[in-house]
Amino acid sequence: MSAAVLTTHGLSKTYGTRQAVRGLDLEVRRGEVFGFLGPNGAGKTTTIRMALGLIHPTAGRVEILGSDVQADRARVLPRVGALVETPALYGYLSGRNNLKAFAHMLGGLPDGRLEAVLELVRLAGRQKDKVKSYSMGMKQRLAVAIALLNDPELLILDEPANGLDPAGIVEMRDLLRQLAAAGKTVFISSHVLAEVQQVCDRVAIINLGQLVRLAGVAELVAGRGEFVLRLPNPALALELVRRQDWGSSARIESGALVARSPSGRGRELLHFLAQAGIWADGIDERQHSLEEIFLSLTTPIGAAS
């Protein structure tokens, strides 16, 4: 198992009578892309702000790279890059000069770091253009570039795809994959669940401030022994399958038969139907989308009151 880069221990935050985060225990491993999910008001941004030392927890603690964030901020936080809110970019300056301005706030950069970051976020070819001419996706990539200036070991991104069109979302997905391939540990909070499913290794889902699921994405979306069959007459097949002890949960979804197999293997289901003269045009193991899992575990805002 890879070493933990970010851990929370019993992390809690209370505002008056409202408990925004409740006893949260997380572990983010080195080199993974970790998704942090929850509905609006679930406590995601509060958790991120505690992780960055921007607010104090009511109870518990956050460790980054083995050190307590509150006790050792000066040593820990320079090893972290963050995008919590899109920084105020200077539209009248070029992308390169925006980076120079932020680099100056950091006390300067090693030679070549600016060029390396521009290449990484694929803005080298537009670095001399004014930021006001950038698309929203380019501005978000420039914001990530700012978070990367200090060459952090951990990158924390709060809604990096927020406000992006489909092309911008794809660009951000490719960038996150590239960062992970370059050895960065990436922690992202996002509402774009289809993208999280494609780019993250593991996800934590929180609801009403509490952790409700922590698992690998592949494990979450894996099928539960069901198969999707494309058939000329799915209703006829459904009637036959439902007569079997193992077929009581069979159903039709989007014109296809969804059913279990007598043995757990798809070929046995095909064989059973073929014996009855029903031939399938195709079969796939049914997988759940991350969105299905998310909606089954969380409470829409206002529903818990």
243-262 confidence digits (pLDDT tens): 999 999 899 988 999 888 88
* Residue scoring higher pLDDT (204 or 219): 204
* Residue scoring higher pLDDT (47 or 40): 47
Residue 299 is assigned to a structural domain of this protein: no
Cα 15-17-23 angle, rounded to 5 deg: 70
304 falls in which pLDDT band (50, 70, 90)?
very low
Q: 165 and 207: one domain? A: yes
305 falls in which pLDDT band (50, 70, 90)?
very low
Q: 114 and 239: one domain? A: no
CA–CA separation, 153 and 281 (whole Å):
49
Cα 69-72-73 angle, rounded to 5 deg: 65
SS3 68: strand
Average pLDDT, integer, range 147-167: 89
In the chain, the amino acid numbered 135 is S
Radius of gyration, CA atoms only, the chain: 24
The pLDDT of residue 266: 87
Cα 276-255-296 angle, rounded to 5 deg: 115
Q: 269 and 246: one domain? A: yes
The pLDDT of residue 160: 87
The pLDDT of residue 35: 96
Q: 10 and 50: one domain? A: yes
Average pLDDT, integer, range 267-271: 91
Domain count, the chain: 2
**Where in the sequence is the domain holding 208, given as residue range(s)?**
4-221
Count CA within 13 A, CB hemisphere, residue 98.
30
DSSP lists the bridge partners of residue 158 as 189
The pLDDT of residue 287: 76
The pLDDT of residue 302: 53
295 falls in which pLDDT band (50, 70, 90)?
confident
80-89, 91-100, 187-196: least confident range: 80-89
Pairing state of beta strands 67-68 and 210-216? unpaired
In the chain, the amino acid numbered 244 is Q
Q: How many CB atoms lie within 10 A of CB 31?
A: 16
The pLDDT of residue 300: 63
273 falls in which pLDDT band (50, 70, 90)?
very high
Q: 191 and 232: one domain? A: no
Which residue bears the tokens 């079997």? 244
Q: 156 and 242: one domain? A: no
| DSSP secondary structure code for residue 37 in this structure | E
**CATH code of the domain containing 88:** 3.40.50.300
What percent of the chain lies above the pLDDT cut of 70? 97
Residue 297 is assigned to a structural domain of this protein: no
What percent of the chain lies above the pLDDT cut of 90? 59
Q: What strands, in cross-sheet order, belong to the sheet with 4-15?
A: 18-29, 4-15, 59-64, 67-68
The pLDDT of residue 205: 95
Q: 49 and 144: one domain? A: yes
In this model, does residue 68 exceed pLDDT 50?
Answer: yes
Q: How many CB atoms lie within 10 A of CB 163?
A: 12
Q: 118 and 32: one domain? A: yes
- Joined tokens for residue 29: 């491993």
